[in-house]
């Protein structure tokens, strides 16, 4: 099974570089991607490795509750365009940093480096929902 077909038919979560791989449009520089999620991203938009940072992110969706989560940004891309069928789940500085379409998630930060399991639990929940 090809990777693109797998991602189109199974739950998937692209973290940081994975968000770039899922995006329909990639800039700075442009590159091939799977193009399965209707978002545009700019690579390394927050700067170099030494400019990595941690910030609290507020949920933009009632499905995620009210608890802020820690966002660890390491040479992170920025989501610069969100398609009409894609939901923004979290923002940072007014810009989307985590989005969803059906059972596909993309985040420009690293939730696996946070102590919270809130986002992992959410992903498992949407994996169990019918498409």
Catalytic residue selected from 8, 70, 102, 110: 110
| 8-state DSSP, 3 | H
16 is catalytic: yes
Please say if 103 is a catalytic residue: no
The reply to whether 62 belongs to the active site is no
> Exactly one of 51, 112, 120, 127 is catalytic; which is it?
112
Q: How many CA within 13 A on the CB side of residue 81?
A: 12
Give the catalytic positions in this structure: 16, 110, 112
């Amino acid at each position: 099974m090809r990777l693109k077909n797998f991602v189109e038919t199974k739950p998937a979560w692209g973290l940081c570089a994975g968000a770039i791989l899922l995006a329909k449009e990639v800039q700075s520089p442009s590159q091939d991607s799977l193009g399965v999620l209707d978002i545009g991203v700019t690579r390394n938009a927050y700067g170099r490795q030494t400019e990595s940072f941690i910030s609290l992110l507020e949920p933009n969706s009632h499905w995620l509750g009210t608890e802020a989560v820690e966002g660890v940004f390491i040479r992170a891309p920025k989501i610069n365009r969100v398609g009409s069928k894609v939901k923004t789940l979290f923002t940072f500085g007014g810009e989307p940093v985590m989005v969803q379409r059906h059972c596909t998630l993309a985040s420009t930060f690293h939730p696996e480096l946070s102590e919270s399991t809130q986002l992992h639990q959410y992903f498992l929940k949407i994996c169990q929902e019918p498409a």
